[in-house]
Amino acid sequence: MAIDRRDTSRYKTFTRRAIILGGAQAGAFLVLGARMYYLQISKSDEYRMLSEENRINVRLIAPLRGRIVDRYGTVLASNRQNYRAVMISEQTPDVQETLNRLARIVEITADEQKKILRDVARAPRFIPVTVTENLTWEQFAQININEPDLPGLQPDVGETRYYPFSTQLAHMVGYVTPVYQRDIDKSPDEPLLRLPGFRVGKSGLEQTYDTVLRGQAGASHVEVNAYGRVIRELSKDNGKPGAEVVLTIDMEVQKYACERLEGESASAVVMDIHSGEVIACVSTPAFDPNQFNTGYGVAAYKALIDNPYLPLTNKSQAGLYPPGSTFKMITSIAALRKGINPRETVHCNGKYALGNHLFHCWKKGGHGSVNMHEAIKHSCDIYFYEMAKRTGIDEIAKAASEFGLGQTYDFEVPGEKPGIVPTREWKRAATGESWQQGETLISGIGQGFLLTSPLQLCVMMSRIANGGMAVKPRLTRAIGGELVPMPPAPMIDVDPAFLKVVQDGMNGVSNEPGGTAFRSRITEAGFELAGKTGSAQVRRISMAERDGGVRKNEALAWRLRDHALFVCFAPVDKPQYALSVVIEHGGSGSGAAAPVARDIMLKVLKRNLVREQASLHPTDLPSHEGHSHAPHSTVEQG
């Protein structure tokens, strides 16, 4: 039988194809197996981690903001529950209808509704969006009761900043506000700034210690589905609360000073003359810092801006005023350094001639012959015109700078203004004109170009009372349980005998008959104060007004009246505290400012024993871990 060679050829061709196909299949399985080994064995840990990340999300939790307390632990800024309502848009068929129903319970303006609708449109439908917050308990309860009729709306409780003393500490403590884009631009790597509802310090100590008060963020580990919706919370770390800041303030004194200055555009500062610790720092009127946290309405904010008493200005350190007769102690020190004998007398008949110009004393008939003690006691302008003329502006400016005027102190509260202590060089730089001798005379009584703040006047008073120690004001005692270091203050190169002359003159002002503040003295033994009145003009007084006798402040419009000032230290025998009071357009220092200063100082002195007993030491700092402001005229009246 013959063999068909064509069949054999087909067989061989089939066999080769089978082998090639089989080899390809084997190679494919080999590559697939190698890939599976690579993915499942070699890279198993990496892909397991990626898988977990897809299933478990880590979400930041804003920490509780640190508290601010006074020297005795009284809470000045804390946190409280924030009753609010949030909306999950996927749970309501009509967002607008839900908002309309909510508006029957809580007032929501048309502009606020537009913002809410915009926020809802931007956010994923399952993410809660804040609709309203800072609700009262009654409002919050009503929302809870009506929840079935408010589809998509959920009651919620968070934390918000709270200032229990409101206006009484507004300028000092400051306030917080929501985060704005500019805040994020300043710190792009700070994740806390991107959290909904997070607040940052915008004023006062809240701004100065913002990063310290923020604390450290916590985290919540939640299980999510493929759409990112939360299924359940696996673990939670609330983070670390912000550090507590302990101030030098005595809230009882602060509160009393605010009440004593109520209704005035004024400021008062109290300091410990040895340590520089600020016991009270008041500026009235003020604003409610809680409103900046919850949101000032347009009308309410406009009322603040339009108020002639300038409640948004921290007058204690940014209010600038001619110091008036309170500057006469500086002129006295400069004159004593120049070699002038304090017992030498100058005759005051009410007028002082310089060339063809007459400078007047506040007392029309004059004071007669007075020495330095009597000139301070009676606030005689003629005496200090003469002392300023003999001494010169350069020596006067030098003494003013050494005793704290015309400068800032790196005070913890932002917004300090240095004021002006004029010199020959300053005037040439500022006006391009030469210094005139008449300007030296009016500088000698605290008028002219001179501008000071109440804080500076208190520092000046402290350095005079403590024997020439150049203390600086400080407001913070401790941060996070650790005392803030207090470097020793340098001594001013001044003869103690010169300071004694000035101190005795101030004692005469308050405690000797005829002194300009004798009627406002402290009569209780051991509490006596030594002070100096001042009335600073805000306009030039014409001869017609002077001769016609119509210069009574009470007959003038408020803005035309003199500023009233008073500075003092106490007790006289053993000085411990200094105080400055400035009442804008208050009239005379003796009539308006001195009585207020007396009352505040008496309050401070009577609390002295309590203050010493509760004085903070490194070993017994209070622990609070929980958070639940042109040249002026030439006449000065003492």
Residues marked active site are found at 325
Whole-angstrom distance, CA of residue 43 vs CA of residue 22:
30
Element (H, E) at 301: helix 298-306
Cβ-contact 132, 85 below 8 angstroms: yes
State how far the alpha carbon of 592 is from the alpha carbons of 377, 555, 632, in Å: 18, 15, 21
Element (H, E) at 337: helix 328-337
Q: Judge whether 129 and 123 are in contact, CB under 8 Å.
A: yes
Our measurement of the distance from residue 239's CA atom to the centroid of its chain's CA atoms, rounded to an integer in Å, reads 27
Six-digit token pair at 133?
């917050």
CB 534 within 8 A of CB 635: no
Number of DSSP helices (H) and strands (E) in the chain, helices first: 24, 21
User: What does DSSP say about strands 351-354 and 346-348: parallel, antiparallel, or unpaired?
Assistant: unpaired
Cα 218 from Cα 80, distance rounded (Å)? 19
Could you tell me the two tokens for 631? 């040249």
| 336 and 496 Cβ atoms separated by less than 8 Å | no
DSSP string, 138-188: HHHHHHHHTGGGSTTEEEEEEEEEE-TTGGGGHHHH--EEE--HHHHHH-T
For residue 193 the two structure tokens come to: 């700034």
DSSP, res 42: I
Residue with tokens 């299924």: 231
Asked if residues 391 and 338 have their Cβ atoms less than 8 Å apart, the reply is: yes
CA dihedral 345, 347, 348, 354 (to 10 degrees): -100
Maximum C-alpha span of the chain: 164
What's the CA dihedral at 318, 322, 325, 330 to 10 degrees?
70
**Which phi and psi (to 5°) does residue 271 adopt?**
-130, 150
Q: Which residues pair with 38 in a beta bridge?
A: none
* Token output for 378: 């009676």
Residue bearing tokens 């550090």: 243
Tokens in use for 272? 């410990």
- Phi/psi of residue 307, nearest 5 degrees: -65, 120
Q: Are strands 230-237 and 218-224 parallel, antiparallel or unpaired?
A: antiparallel
Strand 176-178 with 218-224, pairing:
unpaired
Peptide bond before 485: cis, by omega within 30 degrees of 0?
no
The answer for 324, left when phi > 0, alpha when psi is -120 to 50, beta otherwise, is left
Rounded Cα–Cα distance for residues 71 and 476 (Å): 9
Start-to-end C-alpha separation, the chain: 150
Q: Distance of CA 298 to CAs 260, 295, 302, 620, Å?
A: 30, 9, 6, 46
